[in-house]
Structure 1
Amino acid sequence: MTTIIRQDDIIDSVEDALQFISYFHPKDFIDAVHEAYLREESSAAKDAMAQILINSRMCAEGRRPICQDTGIVTVFVNVGMNTHVEGDLSFDDIINEGVRRAYKNPDNVLRASILSDPDGARKNTGDNTPAVIHYKMVPGDTIDIHVAAKGGGSEAKSKFAMLNPSDSVVDWVLSVVPTMGAGWCPPGMLGIGIGGTAEKAMLLAKEALLDPIDIQLLRERGASNRAEELRLELMSKVNDLGIGAQGLGGLTTVLDVKVKDYPSHAANKAVALIPNCAATRHAHFVLDGSGPAMQTPPNLDDWPRVSWEIGDSVRRVNLDTITPADIADWQPGETVLLNGKILTGRDAAHKRMVDMIAKGEPLPVDFTNRFIYYVGPVDPVGDEVVGPAGPTTATRMDKFTRTVLEKTGLIGMIGKAERGPLAIEAIKDNKAVYLMAVGGAAYLVSKAIINSKVVGFADLGMEAIYEFEVKDMPVTVAVDSKGSSVHTTGPKIWKQKIEEHKLVIQ
């Protein structure tokens, strides 16, 4: 007997799932971060995880996005061969209508990040469509759907290699993870796909990230196949790298490692690695013809209550009166609370500014002795000044940094993760500073913003130049005016500490 499934039930279920995952972390993820937080010995990493946990509870209570980057939607659909979809749209159009409604929901507007013509005009589609959709035809009388919303920062760190059959997967993973920096917002998960062809390995890695965090259960029962052996070995060895939360150095870089494999050609060993960030977002539902499948809200009592303490040694600064001399003694790893007005700008704004500088055209705002925040905020709802406004990956602005520092009078930048050698050299030469805000704490950060207005490039939407007025916005000095980077020193120190600890145990 054929199961009839209405297209509107699929649309409603996709919309509900995407709204749900925008503000509810999976419980297994929260439990794993909390456990890592409790055992963390690095104060900087512990502080970052505290902000992630506080942000998660705030988002669950306020039903607002965990991260300002509400992701590109990926959908895995298993279509039962005894089902029939009743409606007039293609299956892709059905899924995309659910995405469209979810991202334009007036009660919780989600940021549209999808651009058409990716190597040309790069025009925002306005509703975060189209999704990336994968189908399988399977026996059965239901339609089984997984939806995920993947942030651009973690997706950008995806890796692939076609290894020789005798090459070590472990060696390859350990060689590439340190090159990923912190732009994928650890602590998170690594999805690893092995075998098949190039595209199959990447698909396996992405699918692996849908599985729950259960590495502790695997440790207790032991590995039963090669994929599970790899999970255990890589979990230990990746954390031994000392990269830590947000790349600041610490005991926990990954919360779990997932491995899926597939038969491969005798001459090949395709290996893919895709990280999932601190904004882990995925949901699963099954349609059986009885109506839409709605997500069940979690019990908020399951969220740990973590406090973030502002110590006496924390430096408060007034950005409205700051000068280059004031930032000269800021130290890497130091916590700073920002007060006053900052400007914003990310990829599109930086490119336009550099083009205008080259043409001798005036910029829309004076950057002298100002700080710029790399952010693309979510639109506000209700009485919000701004929606979730966490940092974007700073390395994408590296190629613009020297020009902007030397030609505009800018003295400070705020973003996510590390800076590359080009940017660090420019920061050192211009005696500027780079500050790091916690990726994965976007709603928490937005609560420090007490006023917001667009002051330039309004046509760029979320990539316009805003002026934010902030009160006690927490950041960490990541690169000081002498060019010292905490993302270099922190992991190095903690890798050594972990190695020394293991020697003592032995």
Structure 2
Amino acid sequence: MKPQVVIAEEDVIASVADALQYISYFHPADYIAHLTRAFEREASPAAKDAIAQILVNSRMAALGHRPICQDTGLVVAFVKVGMEVRFDTERPLADLIHDGVRRAYLDEANPLRASMVEDPLVARRNTRDNSPAVVHVELVPGRTVTITVAAKGGGSENKARFATLNPGASVVDWVLKTVPELGAGWCPPGMIGLGIGGSAEKAMLLAKEALLEEIDMTDLLARGPASKEEELRVELYEKINALGIGAQGLGGVTTVVDVKIATYPTHAASKPVALIPQCAANRHATIILDGTGPVRLDPPDLSAWPQIVIGTASLGARRVDLDTLTREEMAEWKPGEKLLLSGRMLTGRDAAHQRLSNLLKAGEPLPVSLKDRVLYYVGPVDPVGAEAVGPAGPTTATRMDPFTEDILGTGLLAMVGKAERGPETIASIARHKAAYLIAVGGAAYLVSKAVRAARVVAFADLGMEAIHEFEVEDMPVTVAVDATGQSIHTLGPALWRRRIAEGRVGAET
């Protein structure tokens, strides 16, 4: 009988920490290959520019070993433990994973943003080290421990959906109804993972695990489907892209680069279906422990990353001085127009908005004036070295919708975020003759290079959610909602849905 394989506690912790650092700045090569193909065939100029920014950001992050996205994610670990393995520890396996998370996220060379909060109901206090992880453990035959770690951003995780369909109901119809309702907050182009069968919780787990599979849609389309499941993948891939949602919801021919499906037997009366989108920050890696020590992942070959130059993207963009901006100037902006912002802007997201709203309702003064300012919805990563700020991409703006009317009432000029705004918020923007701009979600490191200085000006105790003042130079954004209430997230997808249906995808916007 072979002796048991012994895995030291430090081997688990160190390996998990290294894998989490690795995925913070290295995209999987399969995603880059498929996103590059999407860039090459994209016909919408706005979507093509967004994909270009994501690809350039990815290469910058890989070279600089800094996070792809400021939302460095909720950590999910899928652990398969071989039955012939023994752990040399008296602690629960999940605690070792949590320690690996802490070590990775507190790494001084590349600190990652702590986003996890304790007590999800009331206090919601940040744990400050991004622990705990969500851990799934399975006992399997073998002499190794396989750990797959994924870092899931809140923007895409919040768009997870579940339904129990009637046995004869169409999965395709439900998906095509559901995907447009997700909006753009999940930062397409990405992937859709579907879990079909089992029970409610099993379906959700299947969908999450499906997103870890290799992206192979290009090969599948070339060889043709070999099963009913593959036929369904192709059908959904083509029909989702025909919706015209496009990169960042701007309208275009690629919304997803792949659709993944995992199934499990289910009750005869049931058809549980879970849908989980994966954003452009597609981050996961697998390590295998065999008792010989910790595992370190080899860096990918960066020659697989396309050499895209986006310096010329400023051509035709309107330059905006935030320090002298007026509503009269903003009235000239049009949906889909590119802007380059320079000057001083404030930041603020969920927790800061709640506090500002509470102060306004109580008739108390705000800690910083919002009059004639622009507010960026961002929770940046801590800086390292000479950085003014770490990766600082936009967060999903719809979460700020409940506060927007009150905030605009202070004299705020404009907001910067990602994804669409709700109809009441759009009406409020038009009523105040304000504007809503979007930066590219998934291009956080690239965006941060436009920030020349940063300082905390209010609510320092909120950590990454504190209000900062940024000084920016040529920060690229797109007008999403103009002063009249016209929205690119309505106009763009509608235009490209028509063009795709009519076979006119090569037409200029």
Q: CA deviation at 1:224?
A: 3.0
Partner of 1:340: 343
Partner SS for 2:502: helix
Question: Is 1:305–2:307 an aligned residue pair?
Answer: yes
Residues in 1 aligned to 2:503 and 2:157: alpha-carbon distance in whole angstroms: 33
Q: TM-score with structure 2 length normalisation?
A: 0.98
Question: Is 1:357–2:357 an aligned residue pair?
Answer: no
Residues in 1 aligned to 2:390 and 2:201: alpha-carbon distance in whole angstroms: 36
Classify 1:288/1:448 alpha carbon distance in 2 versus 1 (closer, same or farther; 3 Å).
same
Partner of 2:495: 493
Partner SS for 2:163: strand
Residues in 2 aligned to 1:271 and 1:116: alpha-carbon distance in whole angstroms: 29
Residues in 2 aligned to 1:405 and 1:378: alpha-carbon distance in whole angstroms: 27
Partner SS for 1:501: coil
Question: Is 1:318–2:321 an aligned residue pair?
Answer: yes
Partner SS for 1:474: strand
Question: Is 1:462–2:459 an aligned residue pair?
Answer: no
Partner SS for 1:322: coil
Residues in 2 aligned to 1:311 and 1:297: alpha-carbon distance in whole angstroms: 32
8 Å contact kept, 2:253–2:505? no
8 Å contact kept, 1:143–1:286? yes
Matched letter for residue 370 of structure 2 = F
Match among 393, 396, 411 for residue 396 of structure 2: 393
Residues in 2 aligned to 1:166 and 1:123: alpha-carbon distance in whole angstroms: 45
Matched letter for residue 392 of structure 1 = T
Matched letter for residue 10 of structure 1 = V
Residues in 2 aligned to 1:246 and 1:313: alpha-carbon distance in whole angstroms: 20
8 Å contact kept, 1:165–1:266? yes
Q: Count matched residues.
A: 503
Residues in 1 aligned to 2:224 and 2:445: alpha-carbon distance in whole angstroms: 39
Classify 1:129/1:503 alpha carbon distance in 2 versus 1 (closer, same or farther; 3 Å).
closer
Q: How does 1:425-444 map to 2 (within 5 A)?
A: 425-444=427-446
Match among 173, 194, 197 for residue 195 of structure 1: 197
Q: CA deviation at 1:222?
A: 2.8
Question: Is 1:404–2:368 an aligned residue pair?
Answer: no
Question: Is 1:381–2:384 an aligned residue pair?
Answer: yes
Matched letter for residue 127 of structure 1 = D
* Residue range with higher mean Cα deviation, 184-193 or 309-318: 309-318
Residues in 2 aligned to 1:459 and 1:147: alpha-carbon distance in whole angstroms: 30
Partner of 2:119: 117
Matched letter for residue 286 of structure 2 = H
Q: How does 1:89-128 map to 2 (within 5 A)?
A: 89-128=91-130
Residues in 1 aligned to 2:111 and 2:70: alpha-carbon distance in whole angstroms: 11
Residues in 1 aligned to 2:228 and 2:157: alpha-carbon distance in whole angstroms: 26
Residues in 2 aligned to 1:332 and 1:397: alpha-carbon distance in whole angstroms: 20
Q: How does 1:26-425 map to 2 (within 5 A)?
A: 26-308=28-310, 309-406=312-409, 408-425=410-427
Q: CA deviation at 1:502?
A: 7.9
Q: CA deviation at 1:274?
A: 0.2
Residues in 1 aligned to 2:347 and 2:122: alpha-carbon distance in whole angstroms: 24
Partner SS for 1:336: strand
8 Å contact kept, 2:43–2:505? no
8 Å contact kept, 2:395–2:418? yes
Q: Residue by residue, what CA displacement relative to the aligned partner does 1:59-96 show, whole Å, maximum 9, x if unpaired?
A: 00000000000000000001101100112321011111
Matched letter for residue 171 of structure 2 = V
Classify 1:294/1:491 alpha carbon distance in 2 versus 1 (closer, same or farther; 3 Å).
same
Residues in 2 aligned to 1:387 and 1:82: alpha-carbon distance in whole angstroms: 43
Q: Flag structure 2 segments of 5+ consecutive residues without an equivalent.
A: none
Q: How does 1:467-486 map to 2 (within 5 A)?
A: 467-486=469-488
Partner SS for 2:437: strand
Q: Flag structure 1 segments of 5+ consecutive residues without an equivalent.
A: none
Aligned-pair Cα RMSD in Å: 1.1
Classify 1:215/1:473 alpha carbon distance in 2 versus 1 (closer, same or farther; 3 Å).
same
Residues in 1 aligned to 2:128 and 2:229: alpha-carbon distance in whole angstroms: 41
Matched letter for residue 338 of structure 1 = L
Percent identity (aligned): 61
Residues in 2 aligned to 1:396 and 1:94: alpha-carbon distance in whole angstroms: 34
8 Å contact kept, 2:499–2:505? no
Residues in 2 aligned to 1:312 and 1:389: alpha-carbon distance in whole angstroms: 24
Q: CA deviation at 1:228?
A: 1.5
Matched letter for residue 345 of structure 1 = G
Q: CA deviation at 1:474?
A: 0.2
* Residue range with higher mean Cα deviation, 207-216 or 217-226: 217-226
Q: CA deviation at 1:311?
A: 4.5
Q: CA deviation at 1:503?
A: 12
Residues in 2 aligned to 1:503 and 1:25: alpha-carbon distance in whole angstroms: 28
Matched letter for residue 362 of structure 1 = P
Partner SS for 1:50: helix
Partner SS for 1:115: coil
Partner SS for 2:61: helix
Partner SS for 2:313: coil
Q: TM-score with structure 1 length normalisation?
A: 0.98
Matched letter for residue 378 of structure 2 = V
Q: Residue by residue, what CA displacement relative to the aligned partner does 1:279-300 show, whole Å, maximum 9, x if unpaired?
A: 0000001111111111110122
Question: Which runs of 4 or more aligned residues in structure 1 lie more than 6 Å from their structure 2 counterparts after TM superposition?
Answer: none
Residues in 1 aligned to 2:159 and 2:90: alpha-carbon distance in whole angstroms: 39
8 Å contact kept, 2:314–2:340? no
Residues in 2 aligned to 1:218 and 1:138: alpha-carbon distance in whole angstroms: 30
Residues in 2 aligned to 1:104 and 1:336: alpha-carbon distance in whole angstroms: 35
8 Å contact kept, 1:204–1:261? yes
Matched letter for residue 338 of structure 2 = T
8 Å contact kept, 1:399–1:422? no
Residues in 2 aligned to 1:371 and 1:104: alpha-carbon distance in whole angstroms: 31
Matched letter for residue 288 of structure 2 = V
Partner SS for 1:124: coil
Partner SS for 1:123: coil
8 Å contact kept, 2:237–2:258? yes
Residues in 2 aligned to 1:136 and 1:227: alpha-carbon distance in whole angstroms: 25
